[in-house]
């Protein structure tokens, strides 16, 4: 299902949910029953949450100027070798 936007000349804009690819060019207005023309708009960009918009801006910035790491972070230096899994200590040794 997709949401299609229509604009009635008397009542204004309204949305209709239809199967993808089945939206007619003109749809009946639910208020006045007059013919309304389909309006093309950006998909879902007006209803983006603040958090999602901030992530999108951050992703765009990192695409143009990515952060460069010159050394291993301090907390990772202490753990250079990964510890073996505890179950491995119970295995028989040759």
What's the confidence (pLDDT) of residue 46? 63
Listed by start position, the domains of the chain span 1-59
Question: How long, in residues, is the chain?
Answer: 94
| Contacts with 84 (C-beta within 8 Å, 6 or more apart), sequence order | none
Q: Using an 8 Å Cβ cutoff, are 14 and 35 in contact?
A: no
DSSP for 47-61 reads T--HHHHHHHHHHHH
- Of 49, 29, 51, nearest in space to 39 by CA: 29
**pLDDT one-digit tens code per residue, 48-91:** 788 988 998 888 888 888 778 788 777 755 556 677 888 888 88
Domain 1-59 belongs to what architecture? Single Sheet (2.20)
What's the confidence (pLDDT) of residue 63? 83
**Which band of pLDDT confidence, cut at 50, 70 and 90, is reported for residue 29?**
very high
């Amino acid at each position: 299902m997709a949401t299609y936007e229509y604009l009635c000349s008397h009542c204004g804009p309204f949305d209709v949910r239809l199967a993808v690819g089945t939206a007619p060019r003109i749809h009946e207005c639910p208020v006045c029953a007059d013919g309304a023309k389909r309006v093309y708009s950006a998909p879902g960009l007006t209803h983006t949450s603040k958090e999602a918009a901030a992530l999108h801006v951050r992703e765009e910035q990192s695409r143009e100027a990515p952060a460069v790491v010159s050394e291993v972070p301090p907390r990772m230096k202490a753990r250079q070798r990964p510890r073996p899994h505890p179950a491995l200590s119970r295995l028989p040794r040759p």
